[in-house]
């Protein structure tokens, strides 16, 4: 069974908001005077999300002359549909939501993804958490339990956990009760407040919540971790930006969206004080569409409903 913490009305409102606050049309000249829209999918609270992307949006503005309008979205589907409707120009997707959008025909290109080390591939993992006093010891113990997920278009909050459950001979639809929390923070916070028995989230979310005082250190523990997943890509919408501005933004993100370059550009005063999304240690490095083929492989194995919507 599935039950949702955020209803369909929130999705409709989010999509409407993105359309209402969309970008100028694709005939606008690149550079000064143009306003573009940068949207991000949920991983943490909307206020924190906008703050941590602030240095990236300022970099784009400084280097291209455009004005960036940052939009928080309540879920992945709102950003996908905003991109498809031509109302979102740049977006930070989860790997799965990127594949859904790309393979359904959106004229978009993955540009860069975050890494903690310039010499390391941009990757993260999905984890299953329980409360410290839980008798659950591994993913195989989740049968018959109430389990929090993020969103059916979430990579580490749904698709990869679905594959992990299948490997443990657990059917997500028949063998447990699913709660769609709507965000990685909400998934863990619902677990912490005893709204579910276990919760899935990406690998830095618990640290973020502990550092912010929202979860007591040691209150939650991990019982399962996935194989590495290519990190969340920042993507550009070629259909709205045009080739000249698109290529300019790609170059900026691939070459300057990192802490050393942000300091050199005068956007950050120091690398220690240079905030990036999800507490990224270094910054963004180049990714291509082929980096997300493993997500397509998981879709073939799981036959997830969101995968069937592609195309």
| pLDDT tens over the chain, length 311 residues | 444 343 333 333 344 445 444 554 443 345 567 999 999 875 555 556 778 899 999 999 999 999 999 998 877 788 999 999 999 999 999 898 899 999 999 999 999 999 999 999 999 999 999 999 999 999 999 999 999 999 888 889 999 999 999 999 999 989 999 999 998 999 999 999 999 999 999 999 999 999 999 999 999 999 999 999 999 999 999 999 999 999 999 999 999 999 999 999 999 999 999 999 878 999 999 999 999 999 999 999 999 888 876 64
**What pTM value is reported for the model?**
0.77
Residues 6+ apart with CB under 8 A from 7: none
Do the Cβ atoms of 283 and 276 come closer than 8 Å? Answer: yes
Dist. CA 109–CA 210, nearest whole Å: 34
Dist. CA 167–CA 13, nearest whole Å: 37
CA angle centred on 127, ends 122 and 131, rounded to 5°:
145
Dist. CA 284–CA 8, nearest whole Å: 33
Dist. CA 1–CA 91, nearest whole Å: 31
Question: How many CB atoms sit inside 10 A of residue 87's CB?
Answer: 21
Q: Where are the alpha helices (DSSP H) in the chain?
A: 8-20, 46-52, 54-64, 76-84, 95-103, 160-167, 184-192, 205-211, 238-241, 243-256, 259-264, 293-302, 305-308
DSSP state of 155: I
Q: Which residue has the tokens 């990685």?
A: 184
């Amino acid at each position: 069974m599935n039950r949702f913490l955020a209803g369909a009305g929130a999705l409709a409102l989010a999509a409407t908001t993105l359309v209402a606050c969309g970008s100028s049309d694709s005939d606008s000249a690149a550079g000064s005077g143009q306003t573009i829209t940068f949207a991000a999918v949920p991983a943490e609270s909307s206020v924190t999300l906008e703050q941590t992307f602030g240095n990236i949006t300022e970099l784009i503005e400084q280097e291209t002359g455009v004005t960036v309008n940052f939009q928080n979205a309540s879920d992945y589907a709102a950003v996908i549909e905003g991109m498809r409707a031509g109302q979102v120009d740049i977006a930070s997707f989860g790997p799965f939501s990127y594949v859904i959008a790309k393979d359904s025909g959106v004229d978009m290109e993955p540009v860069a993804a975050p890494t903690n080390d310039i010499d390391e591939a941009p990757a993260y993992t999905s984890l299953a958490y329980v409360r410290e006093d839980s008798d659950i010891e591994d993913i195989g113990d989740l049968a018959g339990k109430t389990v929090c997920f993020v969103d059916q278009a979430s990579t580490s909050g749904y698709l990869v956990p679905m594959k992990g459950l299948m490997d443990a001979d657990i059917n997500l639809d028949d063998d447990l009760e699913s709660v769609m929390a709507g965000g990685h923070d909400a998934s863990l916070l619902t677990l912490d407040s005893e709204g579910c028995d276990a919760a899935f989230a990406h690998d830095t979310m618990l640290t973020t919540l502990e550092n912010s005082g929202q979860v007591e250190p040691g209150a939650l523990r991990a019982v399962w971790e996935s194989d590495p997943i290519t990190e969340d890509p920042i993507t550009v919408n070629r259909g709205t930006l045009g080739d000249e501005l698109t290529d300019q933004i790609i170059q900026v993100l691939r070459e300057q969206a990192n802490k050393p370059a942000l300091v050199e550009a005068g956007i950050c005063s120091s690398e220690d004080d240079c905030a990036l999304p999800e507490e990224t240690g270094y910054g963004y490095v180049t990714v291509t569409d082929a980096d997300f083929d493993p997500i397509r492989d998981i879709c073939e194995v799981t036959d997830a409903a969101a995968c069937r919507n592609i195309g």
